[in-house]
Structure 1
Amino acid sequence: MAIPVSIGNEHFPTKAAAIARCQEILRAYPGTPGSGPGQPQAVTDPAHIAFLQALIARHPDAQERTKPGVAGFKVQVNPEGIGNTRCFYVVHPDGSSIRFSFKSCL
């Protein structure tokens, strides 16, 4: 039996549907050419930002990932990953950032 997943105000009939939504958001930010290593791109869509705020709150290490606060989110290539895997990052008010796995949030 499929278990529904709710993230913020979005509701999904299955975990696979929630994963597809996360991947859709990742694909919406393909990278800004010339922006540096990993081609980071800020998440700017208010609906995407609200979704990611709710998503990171579900992360098992949410407090660690969001300390010292959340200034925004970005998508960029994970330098430790294989190939050109784009990942979500929490951007802190001091400009630092930390990667988080959306799968860990589900």
Structure 2
Amino acid sequence: MVKKPITIGPHHFSKKGDAAAFLKAMLHKYDVGDKVSTGDAEVLLAALALHPDATAKMGPGITHFSVRSADFGSKCFWVNRVDGSSEKFSYKACSQLGWAEPVIKQVLTNALPVQLSDYGLYDIHQSGVLG
């Protein structure tokens, strides 16, 4: 099987499995109920842009990410939106879509009035996520 490199934010991985392992380790450094740190939030925003349902998951904008309970006693990342709603997302789905990079800027540019105000990031363009 050919290795497929993937980039998630500032992190470059030689294969998708390494990206998944990185995101898994990030998830497991938090306890259920924790708010994700500013640095990790920027990585998660870039990862979420790779999710097959990125636009729906991001909704009207994101205030912050957290770790909460998921199915069958597991835990996962949750996106918390500006309208007060929240939704879980799979880091595994994000790390499997390295091919989606051309779509990412379109999603981030057109579908995100992301307000990561809790992290001091007032606009996705100001945060440097778009490069």
Q: TM-score range by the shorter chain?
A: 0.7 to 0.9
Aligned length: 94
Residue 43 of structure 1 corresponds to 36
String of CA shifts for 1:25-82, please: whole Å, max 9, x gaps.
1111122xxxxxxxx21112x221110000111111111111111101001111xx12
Higher helix residue share: 2
Matching of residue 63 in structure 1 with residue 64 in structure 2 = no
SS at match of 2:62: coil
1:1-106 to structure 2, matched below 5 A, reads 1-31=2-32, 40-44=33-37, 46-78=38-70, 81-82=71-72, 84-105=73-94, 106=96
Give the share of equivalent positions with the same residue, in percent.
35
Q: Kindly state the Cα deviation for residue 95 of structure 1 after the two structures are TM-superposed.
A: 2.5
Q: Calculate the aligned-residue CA RMSD, in Å.
A: 1.1
Give unpaired runs (5+ residues) of structure 2: 97-131
